[in-house]
Amino acid sequence: MRTQVAIIGGGPSGLLLSQLLHRIGVEAVVLERQTRDHVLSRIRAGVLEKGMMDLLRQAGVDDRARREGLPHDGVVLSYDDDRVRIDFAEHIDQPVTVYGQTEVTRDLYDAAEARGTTVLHEVSDVELHDLDEDTPYVTFMHDGQEKRIDCDFVAGCDGFHGVSRKSIPDDVRRDYEKIYPFGWLGLLSETPPVHDELIYANSGRGFALCSMRSPHLSRYYVQCRLDDRAEDWSDEAFWAELKRRIPSEFAEKLVTGPSIEKSIAPLRSFVTEPMRWGRLFLCGDAAHIVPPTGAKGLNSAASDVHYLFEGLSQWYRDSDAEGVDRYSERALDRVWKVERFSWWMTSLLHRFPDQTDFDLKMQRAELLYLRDTPAAQEALALNYVGLPY
């Protein structure tokens, strides 16, 4: 098999890249380890930056997101009952859009099927070859047979545990990582959201987040221990703990109900450098991970897709290697700024096991500074809605 770009990973970043390439006449084949149903069963965040929405429009797959997504013009941060609303419309005149990552992936799958893109599911034993040559290729097992794809470039969109990052030699790659000493216990329920905007809460009992997927589907989180198990938390215990952590104004009107899904996610910050080696380019979780505070995971992957698509467009349309050669530099410049914001939000809103009384006073002072300082609110709004590409 021969294609121009072999894309490893059939999640939203890989599918988005393939859709963008298709629209300029560049062929791509997508390899995915799981089934389509498994990919679409993953529960992920759903706050889309303006840049992500613009990319979906550029790819021709934004109709449902714009029709069904919920525009948000602000977000609420609280410390016990002290709170501040960050007004996106006032400070930067741009909203975010609440639209589930699963729905983004579904829209991209539908578009791939409509255009006849080759997406191979349940592939295994993927290996990347000759990445530092002009003629890379990929071998893998599919339907019980060993297969090979020859290509011009390989896009590694296969996540933290995928083969792509590990294909960069150890003496070339450098990893940076911070593991946080807690996780998030998340609960999905068919209940109306407690508020029409997201609430990020810091309390004496730890962090909590009130989010939503739709006017009738809510997603809530509480900070938990790393050794907690989701099955040890009853729905009743979760709701009781959530009410203790959010401002009383919201706790009093919280509508509870049976959980649809309950899970625990650990938190980490991670970046690998470089994001390009030879003909291999890393995108999304294959290159970097942010804690979910601030909703930057999918959005930072989208910015990688933007820079890579720009570089490949220059290559195929203009025979110009500048964008390809500078992909890692451009992507990493934005990645580290996004990492900073997610780290800052996480540090501001969570309780750490080694915090001193001084540290707690600094957290409260930071929130009060945000409440009283328009310039600080503007900086938070700019980062939350999304730094420009």
Together in a domain, 200 and 150: no
The DSSP symbol for 374 reads: H
Together in a domain, 220 and 250: yes
Cα(64)–Cα(62) distance, rounded to whole angstroms?
6
Cα(284)–Cα(297) distance, rounded to whole angstroms?
8
pLDDT at position 214, please? 87
Q: List the one residue out of 136, 133, 129 whose CA is nearest residue 163.
A: 129
> Is 356 contained in some domain?
yes
pLDDT at position 39, please? 86
CATH number, position 366? 3.30.9.10
Together in a domain, 163 and 21: yes
Q: Which of 79, 99, 180, 200 is catalytic?
A: 200
> Is 76 contained in some domain?
no
Q: Which of 22, 72, 195, 306 is catalytic?
A: 72
Q: Is 290 left (phi over 0), alpha (psi -120 to 50) or beta?
A: beta
Mean pLDDT, range 273-289, rounded to an integer: 98
Q: Which of 136, 195, 292, 307 is catalytic?
A: 292
Q: Which of 22, 91, 195, 296 is catalytic?
A: 296
Tokens of 30: 């997508």
200 is catalytic: yes
> Is 308 contained in some domain?
yes
> Is 336 contained in some domain?
yes
Together in a domain, 240 and 114: no
Together in a domain, 49 and 113: yes
Domain that holds residue 339: 2-70+97-178+268-348
pLDDT digits (tens, 9 = 90+) for 22-68: 999 999 999 999 998 888 877 666 899 999 999 999 999 999 999 99
pLDDT digits (tens, 9 = 90+) for 166-176: 999 999 999 99
Q: How many domains does the chain have?
A: 2
> Is 213 contained in some domain?
yes
79 is catalytic: no
> Is 171 contained in some domain?
yes
Whether the per-residue pLDDT at 307 is higher than 80: the answer is yes
Together in a domain, 207 and 327: no
Helix (H) or strand (E) holding 76: strand 74-79
pLDDT at position 363, please? 95
pLDDT digits (tens, 9 = 90+) for 120-166: 999 999 999 999 999 999 999 999 999 999 999 999 999 999 999 99
Instruction: Give yes or no for a cis peptide into 274 (omega within 30° of 0).
Output: yes
Give the CA angle between residues 280, 285, 286 to the nearest 5°.
Answer: 30
Terminal Cα distance for the chain, rounded: 34
Together in a domain, 134 and 214: no
Together in a domain, 156 and 301: yes
Together in a domain, 31 and 150: yes
Together in a domain, 160 and 197: no
Together in a domain, 210 and 292: no
316 is catalytic: no
Together in a domain, 166 and 286: yes
72 is catalytic: yes
Give the pTM.
0.94
361 is catalytic: no
> Is 92 contained in some domain?
no
> Is 66 contained in some domain?
yes
Q: Which of 79, 109, 221, 384 is catalytic?
A: 384
